[in-house]
């Protein structure tokens, strides 16, 4: 006799369709058949429409004892079983029944009946079917637990995404305020420049350009939706615009041209990168164009796992001996420091009268994309 707790009608309907043994569910005190599984139809050799709606007892050749058990299960709400006595003639269609009450919130609504055909298989089949029933119920429990865990996981993912969004918004807000403060510093330096003699202005102008390069970085961070990388092409164009405004003015015959692939650089390295570009551009403006006319081209592209940055001008160039010590002679000591800080290498190529080319190779910082962190694009 089964010892498991009564199961619900919804669980019973699922079990009917998958149980290997004939099963039926009856309703009410008259035990009217409401559901049957395919195995029961095969046993009776009848279609479902010929069985459903009839009293279960009408299907039995000698129903008296079975009806008594059905009544007892219905009124007591406790499972039971019934077996046809041995030696019954003629042999019955089925010899054993196992019965479980279908419990609603307040009472017994019906009974689920499992039929066993052969007495010799009675014990073994009962144990097997009970194991299948319990296994099916356990599967329901596991499915419900999996659904619950999935709901918790989804909630955690949403919470983590919200925290990422909050952190990004905070970073953008802080960057915006830093940019505004740097612009104020730049305006204060500009006011000082207007009050001092021309021969002393160079240092102020150079400092103002450096502050402008950093300000452009924070401007990009405040506008970025990625939060963890800076687009190199936009960054270089903003630095070029800043140098044009601070170093050249509207009447200058010198222009900056930017040609950059869609690369990114992480914020930790963006400041020395921007200052390095600013120094190279400033050096070109100071030394390459004594006539005040020319072009400085800034190129950034990817080569394997490195970024190649070239700054080339079409100015007067340098004699080879001077080019060999160019960083010191052209005011590029800062550039050499920034290149080392970025883990890169630098080469200067210049011939007198044909311009100067500075080529710098930097490692691309390729980072993985763990959960909770946005990816850093490098292409």
User: What's residue 249's pLDDT?
Assistant: 67
- Contact by Cβ (8 Å): 139, 11: no
Output phi, psi for 235, to 5 deg.
Answer: -60, -45
Summary mean pLDDT of the chain: 76
Q: CA separation (Å) from 256 to 210, 245, 261, 299, 326?
A: 16, 11, 17, 11, 21
- Which span out of 17-21, 173-177, 287-291 was modeled with the highest average pLDDT? 287-291
Q: Comparing 74 with 205, which gets the higher pLDDT?
A: 74
- pLDDT for the residue numbered 170: 63
- Spell out the residues 6+ positions from residue 310 whose beta carbon is closer than 8 angstroms to its own: 297, 298, 299, 357, 358, 359, 360
pLDDT of residue 258: 94
Residue 10 three-state SS: helix
Strands 230-231 and 23-27: unpaired
Fold of 151-363: Heat Shock Protein 90 (3.30.565)
- Give the pLDDT band (50/70/90) at residue 176: low
The per-residue DSSP string of 16-76 comes to HHH-SS-EEEEETTTTEEEEE-HHHHHHHT--GGGTTTSBGGGG-SS-HHHHHHHHHHHHH
pLDDT in tens, 184-202: 777 777 777 777 787 777 7
- Quickly list DSSP for 125-191: HHHHHHHHHHHHHHHHHHHHHHHHHHHHHHHHHHHHHHHHHHHHHHHHHHHHHHHHHHHHHHHHHHH
Q: Which CATH architecture has domain 9-117?
A: 2-Layer Sandwich (3.30)
Q: What is the pLDDT of residues 228-249, one digit of tens each?
A: 678 899 889 988 888 887 777 6
Mean pLDDT, residues 307-336 taken together: 70
- Indicate yes or no: pTM above 0.75: no
Q: Is the pLDDT of residue 48 over 60?
A: yes
At 332, the pLDDT band (50, 70, 90 cuts) reads low
Long-range pairs of 180-185 with CB within 8 A, sequence gap ≥ 24: 182/211, 182/212, 182/214, 182/215, 182/218, 183/215, 185/211
DSSP category for residue 246: I
Helix axes 9-18, 122-193, angle to 10 degrees: 110
Of the given ranges (15-24, 201-210, 319-328), which has the lowest mean pLDDT? 319-328
Name the residue ranges covered by the structural domains of the chain. 9-117, 151-363
């Amino acid at each position: 006799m089964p010892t498991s707790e009564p199961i619900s009608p919804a669980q019973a309907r699922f079990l009917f369709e998958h149980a290997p043994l004939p099963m039926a569910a009856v309703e009410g005190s008259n035990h009217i058949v409401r559901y049957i599984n395919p195995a029961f139809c095969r046993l009776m050799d009848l279609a479902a429409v010929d069985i459903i709606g009839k009293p279960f007892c009408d299907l039995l050749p000698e129903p008296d004892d079975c009806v008594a058990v059905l009544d007892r299960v219905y009124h007591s709400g406790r499972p039971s079983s019934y077996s046809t006595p041995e030696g019954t003639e003629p042999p019955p269609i089925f010899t054993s029944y196992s019965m479980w009450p279908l419990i609603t919130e307040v009472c017994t609504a019906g009974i689920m009946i499992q039929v066993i055909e052969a007495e010799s298989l009675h014990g073994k089949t009962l144990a097997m079917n009970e194991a299948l029933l319990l296994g099916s119920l356990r599967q329901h429990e596991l499915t419900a637990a999996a659904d619950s865990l999935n709901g918790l996981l989804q909630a955690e993912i949403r919470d983590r995404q919200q925290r990422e969004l909050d952190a990004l918004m905070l970073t953008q807000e802080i960057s915006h305020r830093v940019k505004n403060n740097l612009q104020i510093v730049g305006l204060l330096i500009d006011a000082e420049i207007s009050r001092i003699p021309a021969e002393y202005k160079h240092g102020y102008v150079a400092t103002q350009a450096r502050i402008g390069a950093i300000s452009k970085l924070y401007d990009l961070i405040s506008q970025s939706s990625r939060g963890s990388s800076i687009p190199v092409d936009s960054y270089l164009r903003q630095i070029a615009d800043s140098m044009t405004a601070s170093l050249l003015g509207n009447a200058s015959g010198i222009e900056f041209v930017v040609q950059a692939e869609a690369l990114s650089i992480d914020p930790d390295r963006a400041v020395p990168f921007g200052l390095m570009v600013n120094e190279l551009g400033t050096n070109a403006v100071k030394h390459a164009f004594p006539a005040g006319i020319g072009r400085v081209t800034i190129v950034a592209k990817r080569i394997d796992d490195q970024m190649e940055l070239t700054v080339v001008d079409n100015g007067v160039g340098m004699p080879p001996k001077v080019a060999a010590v160019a960083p010191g002679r052209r005011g590029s000591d800062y550039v050499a420091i920034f290149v080392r800080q970025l883990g890169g290498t630098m080469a200067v190529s210049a011939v007198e009268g044909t311009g100067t080319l500075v080529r710098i190779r930097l490692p691309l910082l390729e980072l993985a994309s763990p959960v909770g962190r946005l990816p850093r694009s490098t292409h």
